[in-house]
């Protein structure tokens, strides 16, 4: 019991508790805002995609996770060697490398890629084809020719011809998993 006339000591814990609650509320608000920003970015700008086949080995293996821009690239903005995701004739989404641009004549002659008659050095292809695939394509206006890096295990422009600009979904930005490997461009 307190003696008469004694004043009550202020509770020193009250300001500390109020500060902790304010910090927790601020962190929660920051987390919610970050989540909203991530949802907007994912819905409009980029999307993670899991590589589903071995057609892009050794650049990407099945199970790798890549970040793809949702902004469909203009064919004029693409360069030979770019990695793109597009709608294939079966309606699926497919990842391949651009090897031919609009107006270019692309051929595989004795297993070597040629563009407009010039052989191309492809550092990303480790197992070149034998002479079985001897074929020629010409990419029309608004079209690109795409091939998988694993030429012996890829369904690509050799099977369904050039890809139209309307079918382009996005460009590969970076590999997310496993980390530290870049895009192979």
Cβ proximity of 135 and 34 under 8 Å: no
Catalytic residue among 52, 53, 69, 96: 96
Peptide bond into 175 cis (omega under 30): no
Per-residue confidence (pLDDT) for residue 127, from 0 to 100: 83
Q: Rounded to whole angstroms, how far apart are CA atoms 145 and 167?
A: 12
Our answer to whether residue 55 is catalytic in this structure is yes
| Res. 159 pLDDT band, cuts 50 70 90 | very high
Specify which of 14-18, 33-37, 66-70, 162-166 reaches the highest per-range mean pLDDT.
162-166
Per-residue confidence (pLDDT) for residue 49, from 0 to 100: 92
What confidence tens digit (pLDDT) does each residue in 78-106 have?
Answer: 999 999 999 999 999 999 999 999 999 99
The fold of the 47-177 domain, in CATH, is Umud Fragment, subunit A (2.10.109)
Per-residue confidence (pLDDT) for residue 78, from 0 to 100: 97
pTM: 0.77
Q: Rounded to whole angstroms, how far apart are CA atoms 119 and 136?
A: 13
Our answer to whether residue 53 is catalytic in this structure is no
Catalytic residue among 52, 53, 55, 157: 55
Q: For residue 145, what is the enclosing H or E element?
A: strand 143-147
Specify which of 11-15, 16-20, 75-79 reaches the highest per-range mean pLDDT.
75-79
Per-residue confidence (pLDDT) for residue 179, from 0 to 100: 80
Tell me the average pLDDT across 35-47: 78
């Amino acid at each position: 019991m307190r003696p008469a006339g004694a004043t009550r000591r202020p509770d020193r814990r009250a300001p500390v508790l109020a500060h902790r609650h304010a910090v927790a509320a601020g962190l929660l608000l920051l987390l919610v805002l970050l989540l909203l920003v991530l949802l907007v970015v994912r819905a409009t700008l980029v999307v993670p995609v899991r590589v589903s086949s071995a057609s892009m080995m050794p650049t990407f293996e099945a199970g790798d996770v890549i970040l793809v821009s949702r902004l469909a690239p203009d064919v004029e903005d693409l360069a030979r060697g770019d990695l793109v995701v597009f709608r294939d004739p079966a309606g699926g989404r497919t990842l391949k490398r651009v090897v031919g641009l609009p107006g270019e004549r692309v051929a595989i002659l004795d297993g070597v890629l040629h563009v407009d008659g010039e052989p191309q050095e492809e550092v990303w292809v480790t197992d070149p084809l034998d002479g079985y695939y001897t074929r020629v394509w010409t990419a029309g206006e608004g079209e690109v020719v795409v091939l998988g890096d694993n030429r012996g295990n890829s369904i690509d422009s050799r099977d369904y011809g050039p890809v139209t600009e309307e079918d382009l979904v996005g460009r590969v930005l970076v590999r997310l998993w496993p980390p530290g490997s870049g895009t192979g461009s």
